[in-house]
Structure 1
Amino acid sequence: MSTQVQPHSAVLLHFTMKLEDGSTADSSYSQGKPALFSLGNGSLSSELEQQLLGLSIGEKKSFSLPGDVIFGKHNPDLVQYFSLRDFTETGIPEIGTIMLFTAMNGSEMPGVVKSIEGESITIDFNHPLAEQQISFDIEVLEIDPQLESQNANING
């Protein structure tokens, strides 16, 4: 069991993500339970993992990262154009509305209504926080020894 977060640690932590205007985008406190993250498995960006490395149980840290580092860079291919006819059942949405769309494979994807011009509605499927600066407050609660030892066995 490690006393510090390592490159393949599983980390139980509380976090709060805030936007530039100070509003809370997400928080494990509001969910009523801490979050478990496994470093090195691709679920977190390398820049976010770097902020966690070396932290100890009980340690708190505040830092900021650009949203595109966490959620991916803006991809123009994820901006799609729809006809007003596509919204006859739901009604014409307002600009800024986040709507769920069903992809070809059956999964649901959120899209933000960016503009309505004539018969065309522009929907952006990029992550809505990708273009913002995100502030984090984290507290490391536990470094999971069981998952850590499994990773150690796999890697060496």
Structure 2
Amino acid sequence: LLEAFEKQLMGLEAGDKFDFTLKPEEAYGEVSDAYILELEKELFKNEEGEFHSDVVFEGNAVPMLDNQGNQLVGIVEKITDDTVTMDFNHPLAGQTLHFIGSVLEARPATEEDRQRLTAQFSGQVGGCCDGDDHEGGCSCCSGCH
């Protein structure tokens, strides 16, 4: 969970209501141009040299790997004859988030809860290539799945 979200819920008990807002800097950050990359179209071709147009089309979320094997999801913004522009910002980057609800149950996390969350979120990072500088393109992101 987002640290600021957790802080808002700390101390609440079953039946308590909440209503709070998180600014982008407290949540998923501002949209960063560093995470909008122009990639070679070759990265999105199969062994036969055919472009994966069934997966890589404007507006679609495409799972990819960085050069360290971390899974990333990029949104296809534009396709040209030679390149694919992808946005690796979190989908909620730049957004102010408003939460309204109530606590149904409150209990300490069990070891099973921790293991399940660790397995669910392992390998995810904030952006392509762990924030490396991508001026002039990015050769580290590859693998159209």
With normalisation by structure 1, the TM-score equals 0.54
Which of 50, 55, 60 is equivalent to 2:17? 60
Residue pair 2:74, 2:87 contacting (<8 A) in 1 also: yes
Residue pair 1:84, 1:121 contacting (<8 A) in 2 also: yes
Aligned pairs, number: 104
Q: Larger deviation: 63-72 or 102-111?
A: 63-72
Which whole-Å deviations, capped at 9, do the CAs of 1:52-71 have from their partners, x for residues lacking one? 24433321213333445311
Q: Is there any run of 5+ residues in structure 2 with no aligned partner, and where? A: 112-145
Q: In the superposition, relative to structure 1, how do residues 95 and 67 fare at CA in structure 2: closer, same or farther (>3 Å)?
A: farther
Task: Flag the structure with higher strand content.
Answer: 1
- Is 1:44 the counterpart of 2:2 in the alignment? yes
What do you get for the CA RMSD once the two structures are aligned?
A: 2.7
Which runs of at least 4 in structure 1 moved beyond 6 Å after TM superposition? none
Q: Is there any run of 5+ residues in structure 1 with no aligned partner, and where? A: 1-42, 148-156
Partner of 1:133: 96
CA separation in 2, counterparts of 1:69 and 1:117?
35
Alpha-carbon offset, residue 123 of structure 1: 0.8
- Is 1:103 the counterpart of 2:66 in the alignment? yes
Q: In the superposition, relative to structure 1, how do residues 133 and 145 fare at CA in structure 2: closer, same or farther (>3 Å)?
A: closer
- Is 1:80 the counterpart of 2:37 in the alignment? yes
Residue pair 1:66, 1:130 contacting (<8 A) in 2 also: no
Residue pair 2:28, 2:94 contacting (<8 A) in 1 also: no
Residue pair 1:64, 1:133 contacting (<8 A) in 2 also: yes
Percent identity reads: 27
Which of 104, 114, 124 is equivalent to 2:87? 124
